[in-house]
Amino acid sequence: MMPNRLSKLLRRSGALATAVALVGSIGACGNDATEQRTQILRDKIAQKIMLDIRYFCPDQQRNEENRGRCAEPVTELPAALGQMISDTGIGGIILFADNLESADQIIALNSDLQAAATSSHLGSPLLIGIDQEGGRVHRLPRAEAVAFAGNMAIGATYPLHGDRFAGETAEAMAEQLRVLGFNVNFAPTLDVNSNPDNPVINVRSYSEKPEVVAELGIAAIQAFQQRQVAATVKHFPGHGDTSVDSHTGLPRVDRPLEQARATDLLPFTEAFEQAQPALTMTAHIQYPALDDTTLHSRDGEEIVVPATLSRRILTDLLRDEMGYEGVIVTDSLGMAGISDYFSVEEAVVKTFAAGADIALMPLKIRFPEDIARLDEIIDRAVNAVLDGELSEAEIDTSLARIESLKKDYIDAQWIAASPSQKRDSAAKVLADPQHAQLADELASAAVSAIYPPAEGVLPVLDNKAKKIQVIAPTPAVGEAFRLSLEGVSKAAVEVLDPHTVLEELPGSTGDVLIVASIVPGESAVELGGMEDLGRLRRPPMALEDLYETYSRGLEIARARGQKTVFVTMRSPYEAARFHRLADLHLATFDYKAFIGADDLFQGPIYRALASALISDVLPTGSLPVTVESEEETVEMKTVSGG
């Protein structure tokens, strides 16, 4: 049974609005009334802010020596940050991989965060969010929480399996998140990846077909929310047709209005109608067909308004026309798509004016003096209300949406449970063997043949194979390949370094050459924490040098009669460059592995690949996007031998 205090906190709705009425009825005047009104406004604004606490250096000051860089991950709540949460009454926290070391540690951190929030004068518990999309964007420790291949892998299973994997993986992730104390997941991605050069969405998208994105996204939303984790659809109004990463620049989409509605907006429209996602995240993109209004950046440059700051997009379109009633949260305001053009304070005021309910990560709290910046941001927004720049009535309506979200998704029973109860529940869920089985099934179902293979290639690994050579982009990928291949074949496995392969390959021999590629490189959103396989690193090669190495390696191997396989483990579009150089092209849409308790590299996708290479039929996955070739396009084509 939850304590009465927590029960009241979560049942309470409109508490701050009530406080305003009480102040008016007291009849206070002068400075007291002004101070009371200002404090109430500060409380309202604070509830609309969600911060990250990725790193914090409590005993340091920002100076020339550290140049403002802090690399101490917050895995335990420092007293200064706990006090900040209690003093300001902020509404939410987002955690990243750096914050998450183990289940027990995560439970302790989230418990301390909630304790700090509920001890504030507001007593309102926190929204605690995470980017747990699956695939490329996975924050929980892989050694404890089973990881699943991401959205494009799920899209590859759609022709044979429908929305099964979208729903079941979301259900499993929600169970994992819930027992660790999370209540908001910034997933699923509803972007339609129609641009092969998209560096940030790419395989985070289910498909290039908006109808498929909609169906799979709806299944995921429903699964998350049925397990009491608030789902977030992103990135509205659609980040799929961009060639710039909004973490590092300001992308622009130049679709006409009719195409915008038929492509980018369609998955959101259907999701709002059928699944009622709790949150919608904005995109830091320019979309002139939806709003061609211009404004001036802090440097005086006139630019088309980014969607995150656009009232036409967030209020007129999303709220009024599309009828969305949930919470609108910005993408991180620290991303270059916003921070390169506007100050933190101006970005917060402008996005609230546009209609956003929650400002996500408006500033980085890294040193003690940064805490004062939070007060400055809140004060700037309060003054905007007092000056009429922001509508207090709209702030109150926004606050009511946030309170409703908290009431629906914050688990008061989890907050009130003892540490041992939390640990026992988490241990049971995270050890569920069905999660591991589901991850293996998804990986196997997702592997796709990109082009019809050369005659006589299958099975790639037969009893005649004595030596398998693998050109791996990183030592970690090579090690994962080696272990998985040794599990299905008696052939020796030689892992080759791209930096030296052109010197080594001509003098060596083998029966099969596998080239594994994880191009494009990790985008900023994936670098949400320490690399999973950080102990095995090497300097990256320039892309054109890497591709030249792959091409020459395949040519050498084919010239001496080896079977050749090109495995694209991220974006399938790159296979077009090697169409005629490999006997078989496979797409996995995932490459992640982790070091297990046995200190060996593990990963469902590597087991799935090994099985595909010993099979005499092609894998059953289907490309969810169009991959060009020299003579044709390959589009949603199931190439299966049985």
Residues labelled as active-site residues:
331
**DSSP 3-state of 169:** helix
What sign results for the dihedral spanned by CA atoms 596, 601, 605, 610?
Answer: negative
Report d(CA 91, CA 401) in Å as an integer: 12
Please answer whether residues 277 and 553 qualify as being in contact, where contact means their C-beta atoms are separated by less than 8 angstroms.
no
Class of residue 535 by CB neighbours under 10 A (exposed 0-12, middle 13-18, buried 19+): exposed
Report d(CA 546, CA 499) in Å as an integer: 8
**Amino acid residing at 616:** D
CA atoms within 13 A on the CB side of 348: 31
Q: Which residue has the tokens 């991180």?
A: 332
**Amino acid residing at 421:** Q
Dmax over Cα atoms in the chain, in whole Å?
Answer: 92
Report d(CA 368, CA 84) in Å as an integer: 10
CA atoms within 13 A on the CB side of 179: 24
Q: Cα-Cα-Cα-Cα dihedral of 314, 317, 320, 326, to 10°?
A: -50
Cα separation values, 466 from 454, 480, 513, 515, 555, Å: 21, 19, 12, 18, 20
Please answer whether residues 445 and 169 qualify as being in contact, where contact means their C-beta atoms are separated by less than 8 angstroms.
no
Report d(CA 78, CA 125) in Å as an integer: 18
Among 514, 511, 497, CA closest to 612: 514
Please answer whether residues 518 and 569 qualify as being in contact, where contact means their C-beta atoms are separated by less than 8 angstroms.
yes
**DSSP 3-state of 493:** strand
**Amino acid residing at 137:** V
**Amino acid residing at 399:** L
- H helix runs in 433-565, sequence order: 433-446, 475-486, 501-504, 543-559
Among 483, 480, 446, 481, CA closest to 586: 446
Q: Which residue has the tokens 């040519």?
A: 555
Report d(CA 444, CA 449) in Å as an integer: 12
Both tokens of residue 246?
């909004």
Please answer whether residues 36 and 79 qualify as being in contact, where contact means their C-beta atoms are separated by less than 8 angstroms.
no
What sign results for the dihedral spanned by CA atoms 313, 314, 317, 322?
Answer: positive
Q: Which residue has the tokens 């078989």?
A: 584
Among 443, 459, 491, 471, CA closest to 602: 443
Helices 392-409/4-11 angle, 10° precision: 130
Beta strands in 404-525 (DSSP E): 448-449, 467-471, 492-496, 512-517
Task: State the DSSP H helix or E strand holding residue 335, giving kind and residue range, or none if neither.
Answer: none
